[in-house]
Amino acid sequence: MHSHLNDMANHKSALKRIRQNEVRRLRNRYYHKTARTAMKVLRSEENKAAATEQLPKVIALLDKLAKKNIIHKNKAANLKSKLTKHVNKLA
């Protein structure tokens, strides 16, 4: 997306840092979006059996985001709690 050609950096290490940051930014964005979509799918699920099967996978995604510091661990815990409550409420 961004090109390092128009950035101010001239040091070799700074240019590499710019490249690394960009790759990481896109990777983090992909992980975050994937987890958000998985949560959306789980929230819209009406079938308890299907939801119960999806829950551990979504929780694993959230734990990974928290571990990589993409989201705060407390936010991950809050989301997991909410999703678990939602699944338990399904008839």
Say yes or no to pLDDT of 7 above 80.
no
For residues 25 and 15, what is the distance between their CA atoms, to the nearest angstrom? 15
pLDDT for 31-66, tens place per residue?
999 999 999 999 998 999 999 999 999 999 999 999
Alpha-carbon distance 63 to 76, whole Å? 7
- Pairwise CA distance, residues 66 & 62, whole Å: 6
What pTM was computed for the model?
0.78
